């Protein structure tokens, strides 16, 4: 399987991944798309219309709050 990440993405820290992904699309046209039945969708995605790219896929990814280290 080929790694489709850009060179910079390979070195992102785990707690910076979502921030950096969203930052790349901040001036783009973004949509939330659902797939399957309207009232009970099988999948929901955050998609960048400008890049024609799925940013987040709820069927694949689970997101939880970041736990910052205490100083």
* 12 in Cβ contact with 57 (< 8 Å): no
- Is residue 53 situated within a structural domain? yes
* 46 in Cβ contact with 55 (< 8 Å): yes
Q: Closest by alpha carbon to 35, among 27, 43, 26?
A: 43
Query: Which token pair is 57?
Result: 């896929």
- Is residue 11 situated within a structural domain? no
66, pLDDT greater than 80: no
pLDDT per residue as tens digits for the range 3-16? 555 656 666 676 77
Which residue carries 């219309």 as its tokens? 49
Number of domains in the chain: 1
- Is residue 59 situated within a structural domain? yes
Band of pLDDT at residue 44, cut at 50, 70 and 90: very high
Distance CA 66, CA 51 (A): 27
Parent domain of 62:
29-71
- Is residue 15 situated within a structural domain? no
The model's pTM: 0.66
- Is residue 5 situated within a structural domain? no
Neighbours of 12 (CB within 10 A): 15
């Amino acid at each position: 399987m080929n790694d489709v990440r850009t060179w910079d993405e390979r070195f992102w820290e785990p707690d910076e991944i979502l921030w950096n992904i969203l930052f790349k699309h901040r001036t783009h046209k973004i949509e939330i798309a659902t797939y399957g039945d309207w009232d009970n969708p099988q999948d929901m995605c955050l998609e960048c219309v400008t890049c024609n790219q799925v940013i987040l896929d709820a069927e694949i990814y689970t997101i939880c709050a970041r736990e910052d280290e205490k100083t």
